[in-house]
Amino acid sequence: MNQAPKTTWWERLCEGSYRATTRRLVREIEAESPKVYSEMLQDLKTPLEPAFEREVARHLDRSGYRAFVPADTLMPAMLQRFGIEQACVSDHVSYPSLRGNCNACPVAGYCWGAMRREAGVDECRAFCPNAAAFERLAETA
């Protein structure tokens, strides 16, 4: 029978401390290094430690981040999921409304995480407030 190796008390202490302070760590990075925090939010590709990434997403869903504009970072990625070129939408009459919906999205943190993990269009349809509009735009593109 294979037994998983036991973790030491030190490993458990370090892990517990990290979990207990992750929320504070995210807030401190935002407050003390806003440029780095902003760059991190805009980077949908660089891997992050999973617990830290989840806390960043929760932070975005709870209180947002003043310098983060979801429509600038998340909407282009979401358009790709729906097979739409950003250039095709930028001139569309509904573009300002789509950006407004994106920027006011109550699940921007969830969306950020979904875009980071390359969620498929089916998952995106379930939470994106612009999904129906994107579907219509995809049909006409």
Q: Give Cα separations from 99 to 3, 26, 52, 74, 86 (angstroms).
A: 52, 26, 27, 10, 12
pLDDT at residue 2 tops 70: no
Q: Which residue has the higher pLDDT, 16 or 1?
A: 16
SS3 label, residue 113? helix
- Residue 60 in tokens: 């975005």
Residue 83's region, left for phi above 0, alpha for psi from -120 to 50, else beta, is left
Quick check: 77 pLDDT over 80?
Answer: yes
3-state secondary structure of 31: helix
Q: What is the per-residue pLDDT across 32-69, written as a single tens digit (0 to 9) for each?
A: 999 999 999 999 999 999 999 999 999 999 876 777 89
Q: Give per-residue pLDDT as tens, 98-133.
A: 999 999 999 999 999 999 999 999 999 999 999 999
pLDDT tops 70 at residue 80: yes
Taking alpha carbons only, the member of 5, 76, 65, 75 closest to residue 38 is 65
Stronger pLDDT, 92 or 56, i.e. the higher one? 56
pLDDT band with cut points at 50, 70 and 90 for residue 1: low
Cα separation, 81 vs 134, in Å, equals 10
pTM of the model: 0.86
